[in-house]
Amino acid sequence: MRIGRRPLFFFILAAICLALVFPTPSEFRLVNLAMAGLAIFWAILLALEELSGIKDANRRAKPDQSRREDRPND
């Protein structure tokens, strides 16, 4: 199982926001945390979308394979 580039991209954004928490002035740290939360949220959703997409693709592929198996002379 391989995570695609988009979830990874959002995970990296989240990591940058979290890495900047320490140098950010304390009154603005909530911004970093909120943005990191949003990035993680999208990363997880995109990862789930990709995983379900792979399952759908497998499901679509199976009937084709079974049809081929029915016709061994093709």
Partner 1 sequence: MNTEVVLIIAVALAFDFFNGFHDAANSIATVVSTRVLSPRFAVAWAAFFNFAAFLIFGTAVASTIAKDVVVQDVLSNGVIFAGLVGAILWDVITWYIGLPTSSSHALVGGMAGAAVGHAGWRALIASGLQKIAVFIVLSPIIGLLLGFTFMVAIYWAFHRQGKVEKLNHGFRRGQLVSAAAFSLGHGANDAQKTMGVILALLIANHQVAATASVPLWVVLSAHTAIGLGTLFGGWRIVHTMGSKITKLQPASGMAAETAAAATLFFTAHAGIPVSTTHTITGAIVGTGTTQRLSAVRWGVAGRVVWAWLFTIPASFAIAWLAYLPIKTFA
In the bound state with partner 1, the residue whose beta carbon lies nearer, of 16 and 44, is: 16
Residues 6+ apart with CB under 8 A from 10: 39, 40, 42, 43, 46
Residues 6+ apart with CB under 8 A from 40: 10, 11, 14
Quote the least distance from Cβ 23 to partner 1, whole Å.
5
In the bound state with partner 1, the residue whose beta carbon lies nearer, of 25 and 72, is: 25
Binding site for partner 1 (CB under 8 A): 5-6, 9, 13, 16-17, 20, 23-25, 28, 31-32, 35, 38-39, 42
In the bound state with partner 1, the residue whose beta carbon lies nearer, of 10 and 62, is: 10
Distance CA(15)–CA(73), nearest Å, equals: 54
Quote the least distance from Cβ 54 to partner 1, whole Å.
16
